[in-house]
Amino acid sequence: MTESDLPVVQLTPGRWGDPDHSVDLPAAALEALKHLGVNRPAGRRDEELVAPEGGLAGGAREMLEKVLGSEQVKTDLETRWAHTRGYSTPDLLRHRAGDTTDMPVAVVYPGSHDEVQALLIACSEQHVAVVPYAGGTSVVGGLAPQGIEFVAVDLRRLNRLVRIDEISRTATLEAGVRGTAAEALLAEHGYTLGHFPQSYEGASIGGYAATRSSGQSSAGYGRFDQMVVGLTVATPRGTIELGRAPMSAAGPDLRQLFLGSEGTLGIITSVVLRVRPRPAERSFEGWKFASFDDGLAAIRGLAQDGPLPTVLRLSDEAETAVNLADPDVLGGSTGGVLAIVGFEGARTAVRRAEVADVLTAAGGESLGEGPGETWRQGRYRAPYLRDPLLDEGALVETLETAGFWSTLPALKAKVTEALVAALSEQGTPPLVLCHVSHVYETGASLYFTVISAQTDDPVAQWRQAKAAANRAIAAAGGTITHHHAVGTDHRAGYEREIGAIAVETLQAVKRVLDPHGILNPGILIPNS
């Protein structure tokens, strides 16, 4: 398979995804927005772009061109704009407003680990800040070191399947390989990674690793960090290679220091991943429970006593009701809450029957494959819906957390309450939807979707709501993020979560690996 055959969607900021897949809002959704007081802004349009002052200094350009060749150093406005921020709602709103703060002064395209390594050493010597850019799909401000001139290091040329070890079932993939391309490359050998986050059409291997991504099939395939057995990282001090064995007792697991490091400690250039045979069978089912609490008890039973399906998620009453607005989803069934239960693998029939027994005993009612297939086919659709919702004048954003099972009901209630209060205070009472998206033996994640009318300053409006949600998460004992990472948006919460001494520890690690502080400055690790 040649590079051009790979199924890669090149995203550009401002609107999500493949333009051919853009969606119109259903009539029922438009009707629902009226109840939230949403009004389509008259004549709002994308602002014209004005280049910010400053730019790449002459000495820096010379250095970059020397290391990578002049054709791999771009400073045109269009390229830089296409590497500005990610895909949070505030990012989209700022993009629509033509806000060119956070724009890189240049975009560079190294083609190999060695080039990334040489680049970091040269940039460190000249104190040039760099932000690694793979899929560009951050929703937490992970690409925007505020107020600092920086060069975006686009890793799209690191796009190879380097090695596949079929006996050990591992594959070495470069950091710039998109999720879709990874699946295509592995499929040629009969394997799958099984990692399908909602950002699947845009995100990349390096980003998955650097942000501890988690996909929709995590119950069956695990989180991305659980798939990683080895890492190669370029740092301003040199290259680090980790992972001689699946597991080791040789000291701290340093792979876990770079997973989730968000480009602040080095640039991950390739990852050795556990792969699995492509599933022979696949089926998705809908199940209905009388209440979220009933559904929660049922999926906890599966998470703790098994058997685990490959996909397991549970919508709350509000999210189920919104799904019901689409008459296809529940086949006419009304009320209660919807769980999606998916199976992939070989000989899934026994596991399906066992899961059905557990769910039935827990009060579940099977809705058959209809709702499951509807969910599967629409699994990457939600981010596409956001653009027309923003067009209509709605504020729509998501956030997530995780906690132990015993804390989840209070965590859900407190976060919902905080969001409702913070947006109602601003005159825009929201609809707050929630689902459990990932389950573990000891707990689960909660994924919230928030929809309200926009105020005149929707960026500030959301900032206030998000801050309230973050405070509620901390107070209720949840983690500030289960799979979106820290970026700049969660930095304060992260600092509170790990405490001052742990922050100092990370700062010390950073000082060793990145002595001049050129790597994603201001992201994740508070400045020392």
Residues 284-303 that bind a second copy (CB under 8 A): 300
462, 264, 262, 92 alpha-carbon torsion, rounded to 10°: 40
Q: Which helix H or strand E contains 108, and what residues bound it? A: strand 106-108
Give the closest residue to 379 by CA, choosing from 198, 505, 183, 159: 198
CA-to-CA distance for 224 and 134, rounded, in angstroms? 16
Does the footprint of a second copy cover residue 513 (CB under 8 A)? yes
One residue of 18, 65, 225, 294 binding a second copy per CB under 8 A: 225
Pick the piece of the chain touching a second copy (CB under 8 A) from 52-60, 250-258, 382-390, 464-472. Answer: 250-258
**Interstrand relation of 394-404 and 267-274 (parallel, antiparallel or unpaired):** unpaired
One residue of 20, 27, 45, 245 binding a second copy per CB under 8 A: 245
Given a contact cutoff of 8 angstroms between Cβ atoms, the answer to whether 281 and 190 are in contact is no
Within residues 471-510, the interface with a second copy by CB under 8 A covers 477-486, 490, 493-494, 497-499, 501-502, 504-506, 508-509
One residue of 304, 360, 377, 424 binding a second copy per CB under 8 A: 304
One residue of 10, 39, 101, 168 binding a second copy per CB under 8 A: 168
CA-to-CA distance for 390 and 454, rounded, in angstroms? 8
Overall residue count recorded for the chain in this entry: 528
Largest Cα–Cα distance in the chain?
70
Query: With respect to a second copy, which residue has the nearer C-beta, 191 or 384?
Result: 191
520, 523, 524, 527 alpha-carbon torsion, rounded to 10°: 90
* Shortest spacing between CB 324 and a second copy, in angstroms: 30
Does the footprint of a second copy cover residue 257 (CB under 8 A)? yes
Does the footprint of a second copy cover residue 443 (CB under 8 A)? yes
State the residue for tokens 């730019």: 55
Q: Which amino acid is at 409?
A: P
Does the footprint of a second copy cover residue 249 (CB under 8 A)? yes
CA distances from 346 to 184, 277, 308, 464, 470 (A): 20, 9, 14, 48, 41
DSSP designation for 246: S
Does the footprint of a second copy cover residue 238 (CB under 8 A)? yes
* Shortest spacing between CB 514 and a second copy, in angstroms: 11
One residue of 305, 328, 365, 457 binding a second copy per CB under 8 A: 305
* Shortest spacing between CB 181 and a second copy, in angstroms: 22
Given a contact cutoff of 8 angstroms between Cβ atoms, the answer to whether 477 and 412 are in contact is no
Does the footprint of a second copy cover residue 524 (CB under 8 A)? yes
CA-to-CA distance for 281 and 368, rounded, in angstroms? 16
Query: With respect to a second copy, which residue has the nearer C-beta, 110 or 403?
Result: 403
Number of residues that bind a second copy (CB under 8 A): 88
Extract the tokens encoding 301: 């039973």
State the residue for tokens 């990145």: 514
Within residues 340-359, the interface with a second copy by CB under 8 A covers 346, 350
Does the footprint of a second copy cover residue 31 (CB under 8 A)? no
The alpha carbon of residue 407 and the mean position of all alpha carbons in its chain are separated, in whole angstroms, by: 24
Given a contact cutoff of 8 angstroms between Cβ atoms, the answer to whether 263 and 155 are in contact is no
Pick the piece of the chain touching a second copy (CB under 8 A) from 7-15, 20-28, 162-170, 323-331. Answer: 162-170
Per 3-state DSSP, the chain is made up of helix, strand and coil in percentages (nearest 5) of: 40, 20, 40
Pick the piece of the chain touching a second copy (CB under 8 A) from 70-78, 269-277, 282-290, 369-377. Answer: 269-277
One residue of 81, 258, 289, 292 binding a second copy per CB under 8 A: 258
Does the footprint of a second copy cover residue 211 (CB under 8 A)? yes
One residue of 4, 54, 58, 167 binding a second copy per CB under 8 A: 167
* Shortest spacing between CB 329 and a second copy, in angstroms: 29
Query: With respect to a second copy, which residue has the nearer C-beta, 12 or 407?
Result: 407
Within residues 132-161, the interface with a second copy by CB under 8 A covers none
Given a contact cutoff of 8 angstroms between Cβ atoms, the answer to whether 361 and 352 are in contact is no
Given a contact cutoff of 8 angstroms between Cβ atoms, the answer to whether 494 and 486 are in contact is yes
One residue of 159, 261, 416, 454 binding a second copy per CB under 8 A: 261
Does the footprint of a second copy cover residue 165 (CB under 8 A)? yes
* Shortest spacing between CB 234 and a second copy, in angstroms: 11
Does the footprint of a second copy cover residue 365 (CB under 8 A)? no
* Shortest spacing between CB 218 and a second copy, in angstroms: 9
Extract the tokens encoding 200: 């699947």
Pick the piece of the chain touching a second copy (CB under 8 A) from 37-45, 125-133, 387-395, 404-412. Answer: 404-412
* Shortest spacing between CB 491 and a second copy, in angstroms: 10
* Shortest spacing between CB 200 and a second copy, in angstroms: 16
Question: E strands, 243-297, where?
Answer: 267-274, 276-277, 281-289
Q: Which amino acid is at 75?
A: T
